[in-house]
């Protein structure tokens, strides 16, 4: 179909004008309420209204929100106004445009039919024995068909000429709405780079959550310092992004708490008793505890444990001396040292031994083996091994794990990453449900684009 006299495509304008106008009116009313509420909160903060303990408590919160509420009102009220006005214009011109378009489609079909009939007749070859009278009748028939075609096009033109005026009315309303929304946004709340980055941050957080769960499972089944370090770094990255998201206004303190729980080394809490007993000053014991806590937090403990294990293996392969510093000649002690050495050489972070991390943390394979071999070794051997482990991250590992250690390490290994995944999945399901309730006016307005 040809365009209108001003060259526009003749088509219907989509969108539900009544729904857009209603939504705009609601937004405009909400903006007014926001501004009025912000003014009331401001007066409370300034002390112009209200006295008493409850008002004092309200001031603390009101002081933080009244400015943002006022900005939101300044944006919502004019935005709602231009959207409402656009919807009202659409309600006015849409039926007229729809009728014109439907008539034009019908008339254009008649014109095409008449044009086709004229073309078919014009292409028909006259018979060789056609008489002059027959030729005159054929030419008259062609003239009639051409007249029908031209008349059909003229009728279509008359209807198409009605299109431009209501279209221009809608077009101006559309441009006014776009300009009004841009102006309202500039005067109201403007999104910063970090605001625009928040959707990407939330996607990254979701990915990090599931990566963390996968690494936690791998650490339980496989073990190994590199997997433990990767899991710790993923947890810290998720915590940092969560703090960033909350600081930008998405989420609350509970999100930070959940993310922090994912990296907090609960198993280290079982070592709190070392702060109040043992050698050295309280300050030195506190430093040792803090060092171990920080190493657990960032996943370095596994590397320190591995280094301590290598040192213990080197010690057990070295010369065995007695209390006087001379090489021992006791076959019993040498045999027991060999037994301990063979057991320590068999310690691995991999394979089935990794399952013991569930109840023992990253040092479980080492701790469990040392506990077993110490049970069958004499004091001469255990004293030597204790001396070799003194001051390392494995100091005390030969005593096994108590109930508190086991409970805290189970929490570290199983529920924490699982709860994080549940929390994110629940959030995604909630977001999917909320998606049906988003502002429909923006979609309607976009679908009305030229």
d(CA 313, CA 176): 80
Q: 263 pairs with which residues across the strands?
A: none
pLDDT for residue 60? 58
- 177-to-19, 21, 107, 250 alpha-carbon distances in Å: 15, 12, 34, 29
3-state secondary structure of 321: strand
- 185-to-73, 80, 193, 194 alpha-carbon distances in Å: 11, 12, 15, 17
DSSP assignment, residue 394?
Answer: T
Query: For residue 300, which of 253, 268, 333, 252 has the smallest C-alpha distance?
Result: 268
Question: Can you give the three-state secondary structure of 153-176, one letter per residue?
Answer: HHHHHHHHCCCHHHHHHHHHHHHH
Query: For residue 300, which of 230, 220, 392 has the smallest C-alpha distance?
Result: 230
For the record, the structure tokens of 41 come out as 């909160």
d(CA 141, CA 131): 15
Q: 321 pairs with which residues across the strands?
A: 327
Which pairs count as long-range contacts for 144-147, CB under 8 Å and 24+ apart, including other chains? 145/114, 145/117, 145/118, 145/121, 146/118
pLDDT for residue 166? 93
Specify the length of the chain in residues. Answer: 450
d(CA 219, CA 96): 69
Query: For residue 389, which of 288, 439, 315, 281 has the smallest C-alpha distance?
Result: 315
pLDDT for residue 195? 61
pLDDT for residue 409? 67
* Ordered DSSP codes for 199-219: HHHHHHHHHHHHHHHHHHHHH
pLDDT for residue 112? 92
**Which ranges of the chain have pLDDT less than 50?**
50, 52-53, 188, 352, 418-419, 422, 425, 428-444, 446-450
d(CA 156, CA 133): 35
pLDDT for residue 154? 94
Query: What tens digit of pLDDT does each residue of 126-183 get?
Result: 888 888 888 888 888 888 899 999 999 999 999 999 999 999 999 999 898 888 887 7
3-state secondary structure of 327: strand
pLDDT for residue 250? 65
What's the whole-number average pLDDT of the chain?
74
Q: What are the helix (H) ranges across 331-390?
A: 331-345, 357-360, 364-375, 379-389
Query: What tens digit of pLDDT does each residue of 406-438 get?
Result: 666 666 666 555 445 545 545 544 444 443 443
What pTM value is reported for the model? 0.45
pLDDT for residue 102? 94
- 43-to-37, 48, 63, 75, 331 alpha-carbon distances in Å: 10, 5, 10, 21, 89
pLDDT for residue 325? 66
The answer to whether the beta carbons of residues 360 and 301 sit under 8 Å apart is no
For the record, the structure tokens of 200 come out as 């990407």
pLDDT for residue 427? 52
């Amino acid at each position: 179909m040809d365009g209108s006299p001003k060259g526009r495509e003749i088509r219907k304008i989509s969108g539900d004008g009544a729904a857009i106008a209603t939504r705009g009116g609601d937004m405009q009313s909400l903006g007014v309420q926001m501004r009025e509420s912000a003014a009331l909160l401001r007066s409370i903060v300034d002390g112009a209204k209200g006295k008493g303990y409850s008002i004092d408590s309200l001031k603390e919160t009101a002081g933080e929100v009244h400015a943002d509420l006022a900005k939101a009102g300044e944006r919502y009220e004019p935005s709602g106004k231009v959207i409402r006005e656009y919807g009202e214009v659409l309600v006015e011109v849409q039926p007229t445009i729809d009728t014109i378009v439907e008539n034009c489609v019908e008339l254009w079909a008649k014109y095409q039919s008449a044009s086709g009939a004229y073309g078919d007749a014009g292409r028909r070859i006259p018979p060789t024995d056609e008489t002059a009278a027959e030729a005159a009748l054929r030419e008259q028939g062609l003239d009639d068909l051409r007249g029908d075609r031209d008349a059909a096009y003229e009728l279509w033109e008359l209807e198409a000429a009605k299109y431009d005026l209501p279209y221009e009315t809608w077009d101006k309303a559309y441009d006014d709405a776009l300009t009004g929304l841009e102006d309202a946004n500039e005067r109201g709340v403007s999104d910063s780079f970090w605001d625009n980055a928040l959707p990407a941050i939330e996607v990254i957080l979701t990915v990090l959550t599931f990566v963390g769960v996968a690494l936690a499972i791998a650490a339980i089944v496989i073990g190994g310092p590199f997997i433990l370090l990767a899991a710790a770094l993923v947890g810290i990255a998720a915590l940092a992004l969560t703090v960033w998201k909350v600081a930008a206004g998405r989420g609350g303190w509970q999100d930070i708490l959940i993310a922090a729980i994912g990296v907090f080394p609960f198993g280290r809490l079982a070592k709190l008793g070392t702060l109040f007993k043992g050698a050295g000053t309280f300050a030195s014991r506190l430093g040792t505890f803090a060092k171990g806590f920080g190493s657990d937090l960032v996943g370095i403990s596994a590397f320190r444990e591995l280094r301590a294990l290598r040192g213990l293996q080197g010690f057990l392969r070295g010369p065995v001396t007695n209390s006087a510093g001379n090489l021992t000649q006791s076959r019993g002690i040498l045999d027991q040292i060999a037994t301990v050495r063979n057991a320590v050489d068999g310690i691995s972070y991999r394979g089935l031994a990794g399952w013991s991390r569930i109840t023992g943390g990253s040092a479980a394979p080492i701790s469990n083996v040392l506990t077993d071999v110490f049970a069958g070794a004499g004091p001469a051997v255990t004293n030597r091994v204790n001396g070799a482990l003194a001051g390392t991250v494995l100091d005390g590992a030969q005593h096994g794990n108590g109930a508190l250690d086991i409970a805290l390490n189970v929490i570290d290994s199983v529920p924490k990453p699982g709860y994080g995944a549940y929390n994110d999945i629940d959030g995604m399901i909630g977001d999917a449900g909320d998606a049906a309730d988003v502002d429909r006016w923006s979609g309607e307005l976009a679908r009305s684009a030229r």
